[in-house]
């Protein structure tokens, strides 16, 4: 099983994503047509039973999320294209190769929850994607493919936390992107206080294929509990650092050695960080694990955004984790204490360790701090920030101890 | 140059559109001038303090004057392991400025950024949001000479 399975990216570079007719020629907008003929309840049931789970990191069943939306005169469909997780660019690729599938997916969701208005929240670093999406929307509207469903693109402005769904909503409303307390969840009270479904680009873009081929077909692809395909972005010390679309039961080792062509310059593997900068570092002995959400969980890791950062034997893990701890200090929004203060202290202690000025007591302190942040931080940023630290202390503790004072 | 009032008022019907207005201002001026923040606050019905709070929350927005070309160096982990530090040093040396500064002739501003989503070709810089791929210290003079 060394091959990709291209579903969302099947027609990559063969169709122009801006042009609806191109997409229609390869079977596009059939899923939406079918969705419109279905009873709303059946449509939600169909998505639920396809097993499609959120591709933005949390892995929640998409149909289930939609089923919680209460009746209301106005509701919104929001697409999360914030893609701030370092090492991740799969949502950009999906837009650049198959933007119409995203639009169709959003309209399918609109049909299911009875919403007439969608928003795409695109990160500020992608102005060219905003342009592409606006052309794609114009084209889809012009051929009548979206019916009375409208989509507006809004731009983020360089804040990682705005990928968190309630911070994203705050940002669309024109505020500072600080997460809200939950509940209420966006499905009940989201954008401008009305029921709002927030899904990731990849989640929406899978919907047309589910509707046109059937839930059962989709549920049979990849891992049974997290079916379908996943777009991965491989970075770091692999030979072939690019994007891949694979079935979700694809093995992590094969991502690195088959698709990735192994480690660069004949060097040996040291570690791989999956899921972006908030992901765990995985050692060699855990590479024979499928990439799906639950399997990654069993090895104390997470699939997250699908970023895969490979490090060779020469890499200094402590130095890299120190860099990562700066990222979280910088991106903490400051709303809650455990994260504002915690990410600052994590960075401080990591720098101390990295500079060879720390002792075993500092390691114990950072592990304690990590437990507090995991439990007490308001949003996923503060909860996940210590994971790179704790996972490397667990699997690569010797690299830390080598830098402690008593060994200097 | 378009008037900042026209830029802001052109977006006044967008609900919550103050961030869109800030983007539009930055496209014109490369930063958000103080008087434009006051105008935006009024047009979008928020206090000046709130408008300023929004403008300063987002790292892509700047309330300080910047150069004609804004260079942003990605220092996230994939670019870090690909040698971002050496590239920053080379840019600093070539331009004679430190991160956060603008050259005396007002041409270049150098900033750091987190991942810009172009990690297929690390290390990456962006110049006025256009990504430049596979940058190395040796290539810096040639890359920057393209910006007149
Ligand atoms: C700090 C933080 C950053 C996040 N960034 C993103 C992101 O860039 N893109 C995304 O789709 N989800 C992101 N999420 C997850 C969203 O909150 C939300 O769960 C997701 O958009 C739901 O869509 P899905 O169910 O289709 O995955 C982030 C969460 C946190 C806590
Ligand atoms: S955990 Fe961090 S990012 Fe999240 S709300 Fe608290 S301070 Fe903000
Ligand atoms: S890590 Fe530098 S562009 Fe993504």
Mean pLDDT, rounded, for A95-121: 98
With b for 16 or more beta-carbon neighbours within 10 A and e for fewer, the A52-79 pattern comes to: bbbbbbebebbbebbbebeebeebbbbb
Show the DSSP H helices in A214-316 as ranges: 215-219, 252-254, 293-298
Q: Which two tokens stand for residue A256?
A: 């690195």
| DSSP one-letter code for A326 | H
What's the confidence (pLDDT) of residue B93? 98
The number of beta carbons lying within 10 Å of the beta carbon of residue A196 is 28
Backbone angles phi, psi at A65, to 5 degrees: -55, -45
Distance CA A355, CA A243 (A): 35
Tokens (6 digits) for B58: 């987002």
Per-residue pLDDT, averaged over A179-202, amounts to 98
Average pLDDT across chain A, whole number = 97
Does the beta carbon of A125 lie inside 6 Å of ligand 3? no
- Omega before residue B3 within 30° of 0, cis: no
Q: Are A59 and A303 in contact (CB under 8 A)?
A: yes
Burial class (CB in 10 A: 0-12, 13-18, 19+), B114: buried
Fold for B69-145, please state it: Glutaredoxin (3.40.30)
A205 Cα–ligand 3 center, Å: 24
Report the chain A residue with the minimal C-alpha distance to residue B55: A176
Q: Chain A residue closest to B40 (CA)? A: A174
Chain A: closest CA distance from residue B94 (Å):
25
User: In whole angstroms, what is the distance from residue A65 CA to residue A209 CA?
Assistant: 19
Residue B145 sits at the chain A interface (C-beta within 8 Å): no
pLDDT score at A19: 98
Looking at ligand 1, which atom is closest to the CA of residue A85? 8
Q: H-type helices in chain B, by residue range?
A: 4-9, 18-29, 34-43, 48-57, 77-81, 84-95, 140-145
Residues on chain B touching A243 (C-beta within 8 angstroms): 120
CA–CA gap between residue A288 and residue A307 (Å, rounded): 17
Token readout for A345 is 């202290």
Closest CA to B74 of B144, B138, B132, B31: B132
Scanning the structure block, which residue is given the tokens 């919550």? B16
**Please, what are the domains in chain A?**
20-220 (3.40.50.11540), 226-312 (3.10.20.600), 317-407 (1.20.1440.230)
Name the helix (H) or strand (E) containing A120: strand A117-122
Of all protein residues, the one whose alpha carbon is nearest to atom 31 of ligand 1 is: A380
Domain residue spans in chain B? 4-57, 69-145
Q: pLDDT tens digit string along B61-102?
A: 999 999 999 999 999 999 999 999 999 999 999 999 999 999
Indicate the pLDDT class of residue B2, thresholds 50, 70 and 90: confident
Q: Which residues of chain A lie closer than 8 angstroms to B53, CB-CB?
A: 176
Quick: pLDDT tens for A298-333. 999 999 999 999 999 999 999 999 999 999 999 999
Residues A215, A217, A220, A226, Cα dihedral to 10°: -40
**Percentage of chain A modeled with pLDDT above 70:** 99
Strands (E), A148-264: 150-155, 196-200, 222-223, 226-227, 229-236, 243-247
Helices and strands in chain A, H and E counts:
17, 11
- B16 CB-contact burial (10 Å; exposed 0-12 / middle 13-18 / buried 19+): middle
Asked if the model's pLDDT at residue A139 lies above 70, the reply is yes
Alpha-carbon span A285 to A9, nearest angstrom: 31
pLDDT tier at A2 (50, 70, 90 boundaries)? Answer: low
pLDDT score at B1: 63
Is a pLDDT exceeding 90 seen at residue A1? no
- Nearest residue of chain A to residue B78 (CA atoms): A236
Which residue in A85, A155, A307 is closest to B20 by CB distance? A155
Task: Please tell me which of the candidates B19, B75, B78 has its beta carbon nearest to residue A171.
Answer: B19
């Amino acid at each position: 099983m060394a091959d990709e399975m291209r579903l969302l990216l099947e027609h990559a570079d063969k169709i122009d994503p801006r042009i609806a007719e191109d997409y229609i020629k390869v079977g596009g907008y059939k899923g939406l047509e079918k969705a419109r003929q279905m009873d709303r309840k059946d449509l939600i049931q169909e998505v639920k039973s396809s097993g499609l789970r959120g591709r933005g990191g949390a892995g929640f069943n998409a149909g289930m999320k939609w089923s919680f939306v209460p009746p209301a005169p106005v509701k919104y469909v929001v697409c999360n294209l914030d893609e701030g997780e370092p090492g991740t660019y799969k949502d950009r690729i999906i837009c650049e190769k198959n933007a119409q599938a995203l639009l169709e997916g959003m309209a399918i969701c609109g049909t299911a929850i009875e919403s007439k208005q969608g928003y795409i929240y695109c990160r500020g670093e992608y102005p060219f994607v905003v342009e592409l999406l606006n052309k794609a929307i114009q084209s889809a509207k012009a051929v009548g493919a979206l019916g009375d469903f409208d989509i507006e693109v809004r731009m983020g402005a360089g804040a990682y936390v705005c990928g968190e769904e309630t911070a994203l909503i705050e940002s669309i409303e024109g505020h500072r992107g600080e997460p809200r307390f939950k509940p209420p969840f966006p499905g009940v009270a989201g954008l401008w206080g009305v029921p709002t479904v927030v899904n990731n680009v990849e989640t929406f873009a899978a919907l047309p294929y589910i509707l046109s081929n059937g839930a059962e077909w989709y549920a049979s692809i990849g891992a049974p509990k997290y079916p379908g395909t996943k777009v991965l972005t491989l970075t770091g010390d692999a030979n072939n650092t690019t994007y891949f679309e694979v079935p979700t039961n694809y093995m992590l080792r094969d991502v690195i050695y088959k698709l990735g062509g192994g480690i660069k310059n004949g060097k040996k593997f040291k570690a791989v960080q999956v899921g972006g900068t908030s992901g765990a570092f995985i050692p060699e002995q855990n590479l024979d694990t499928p990439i799906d959400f639950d399997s990654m969980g069993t090895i104390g890791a997470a699939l997250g955004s699908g970023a895969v950062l490979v490090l060779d034997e020469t890499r200094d893990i402590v130095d890299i984790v120190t860099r990562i701890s700066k990222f979280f200090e910088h991106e903490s929004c400051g709303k809650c204490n455990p994260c504002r203060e915690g990410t600052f202290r994590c960075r401080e202690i990591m720098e101390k360790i990295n500079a060879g000025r720390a002792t075993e007591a500092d390691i114990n302190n950072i592990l304690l701090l990590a437990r507090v942040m995991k439990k007490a931080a308001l949003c996923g940023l503060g909860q996940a920030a210590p994971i790179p630290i704790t996972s490397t202390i667990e699997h690569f503790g010797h690299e830390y101890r080598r830098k402690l004072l008593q060994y200097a | 140059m378009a008037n900042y009032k026209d830029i802001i008022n052109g977006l006044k019907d967008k609900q919550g559109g103050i961030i869109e207005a800030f983007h539009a201002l930055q496209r014109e001026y490369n930063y958000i001038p103080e008087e434009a923040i006051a105008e935006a606050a009024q047009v979008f019905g928020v206090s000046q303090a709130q408008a300023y709070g929004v403008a300063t929350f987002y790292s892509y927005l700047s309330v300080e004057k910047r150069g004609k070309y804004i260079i942003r160096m990605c220092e996230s982990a994939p670019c870090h392991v690909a040698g971002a530090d050496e590239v920053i040093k080379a840019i600093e040396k070539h331009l004679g400025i430190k991160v956060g500064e603008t050259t005396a002739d007002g041409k270049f501003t150098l900033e750091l950024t987190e991942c810009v989503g172009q990690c297929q070709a690390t290390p990456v810089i962006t110049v006025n949001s256009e990504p430049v791929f596979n940058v190395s210290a040796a290539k810096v003079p040639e890359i920057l000479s393209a910006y007149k």
